[in-house]
Structure formats: C-alpha cells, structure tokens
Amino acid sequence: MSHAPTLDRLRQRIRMLEGSAREAGAVLPLGVAEVDGALPWGGLPLGCLHQVVGAADDPAEAATGPAAALGFAALMAARLAVHRRGAVLWCLRQGSPDDTLYPPGLARFGLPPRRLILARAEDDGQVLWGMEEGLRTPGLAAVVGQARGVDLTAGRRLQLAAEAGGVTGLLLASAGRGRAAGSVAATTRWRVVPVPAAPVTWRGLGAARWDVFLERCRGGRPAHWTMEWNDETGALCVATASGDGSDDAARHAGCRSA
C-alpha cells in the first residue's frame, strides 16, 4: 500500500503552517529536472524569502560583490517576471560595491530593463525597508535586495512581508569584509560559486559554469550541482561529470531554454 498521497498532504499541511508559501501549490519550476526534483515542492515556492550568497572565502567578492550569485538570482527573478507578468524591484545601496548593476546586462539572463525597477538606497537599513515594502505589494513579480550584515530578525521580517503580500523575495547577501554572509530566516539558501567555463573546440570562452549548493531547504536536504549557463541560447542545465568535453554535444542538446 502506497503512503505517497498521505505524505504529500502532510507536507502540504506543514508548509501552510510554516508559512513557506502564501497559498498551497504556489510553486515555480526552475526548468532543470535535477534541481526541481531535489526541492520538496517540485520547484521554487512562491510568496516567501530565498537567500542567495556567493563564495565565502573569496576576497574579491567582498570588494566587488558576488557576480555568480547575482547571475543566478537574476535568472530566478527573470522566471518570476515571466510567471507573474510583472516587474522586479531590485534594491541596493548607492555607492556601494553592489552599485555596479547594469540593467541592460540583466537582459542576457531574461530580465529586460522594462521589467526592472531599480531602487538605490542610502544604507542597508533602507535597502531592507525597500524590500519589505516591495514584498507587501502584490503587483510586483519579485523583489531582489543586496545588503550586507543581514541578521535573523531582519530576515524574518522579510519572510513575513513576503507571506503577507504573496511576492517572492531574493536576498542577495554579500559577504562583509573578513566575514561570510550569515544565514537568515529564508525558505531556501543557495550558494553560487564560479568554476572554469565549459570546454570548447574553438578559440574563446565556453558557457559559464557555476557550482550551485542548496545549503538549506525547509523539508528537504542539501544538494550540489555544477550548472551551466549559455547566454547565447538562454539555456540552463546541469553539466556532465565528464571533464574532456566528449559529452558537450549531448549536454547542449538536452539543455532547456530559460
């Protein structure tokens, strides 16, 4: 006798009690079977907060911001913009290392400038305030915020605001000088680290690759994938374990469009 239906109902009830999604079944598949299969919801739960961080021990990221993590967050935000048919509010601190965001460049991740609202704040406190207000605005597709030194209390406020407004939040938490980004009260926590690009047979660089770690997931287990992003085709997929490039053709054929 199968207990799957009972387990599914129990998991759904737990999610509702935890407030990990504003309404049961509000999930957006990321379009990568291996990743969606590892998430207990079958995709990214909506109406809650997700944290994306970069390399914990990379001094360059403390000075310039987590580039790989930013790209991964932009991909998530782009999918949310298409799903909700709305704009993405992106909050950052003016004059900080994060204030190098180039909106036309985000179009390569599927997020065109017409879908982006960029808010520059005076300090991290105002970044978090802007995020909280945006998360309570149902007309938005998503809210992305870049802030440093976010604690559990601030993260919990963002989580509650996301639940109240039904808007999905992406906290792109940068590492501070000499310290890693701390964990907050988020439904999922992702760490994204750049790795060498995919091998190619021609002169130049191949598709970008990231090590993506699902470090925290309510009701799920940690996981890790090496993922490949092709900005020419808009394809995101899990890279093969082969290091000689022999499976590149098959891998590219199996990648799904973003």
**pLDDT tens-digit series, residues 57-72:** 565 555 445 789 999 9
Cβ-contact 158, 15 below 8 angstroms: no
Predicted confidence (pLDDT) per residue in 35-44, tens digit: 999 999 999 9
190, with CB counted inside 10 A (0-12, 13-18, 19+), is buried
Cβ-contact 52, 172 below 8 angstroms: yes
Domain count, the chain: 1
**For residue 176, pLDDT beyond 60:** no
User: Is 95 within a domain?
Assistant: yes
pLDDT band at 2; cut points 50, 70, 90: low
Lowest mean pLDDT among 77-81, 158-162, 245-249: 245-249
Cβ-contact 178, 60 below 8 angstroms: no
Residue 34 CB partners (closer than 8 Å, separation 6+): 225, 238
User: Is 8 within a domain?
Assistant: no
Tell me the C-alpha distance between 225 and 213, whole Å.
7
Query: What is the DSSP code string of 175-224?
Result: PBTTBPPPP-S-SEEEEEEEEPPPP-SSSS---EEEEEEEEEETTS--EE
Helices 124-135 + 152-165 axis angle, to 10? 20
User: Is 5 within a domain?
Assistant: no
Give me the domain span that covers residue 85.
Answer: 21-257
Average pLDDT over residues 114-123: 95
CATH code for position 227: 3.40.50.300
Predicted TM-score (pTM) of the model is 0.80
Tell me the C-alpha distance between 187 and 217, whole Å.
6
Which candidate, 110, 63, 56, places its Cα nearest to that of 88?
110
User: Is 97 within a domain?
Assistant: yes
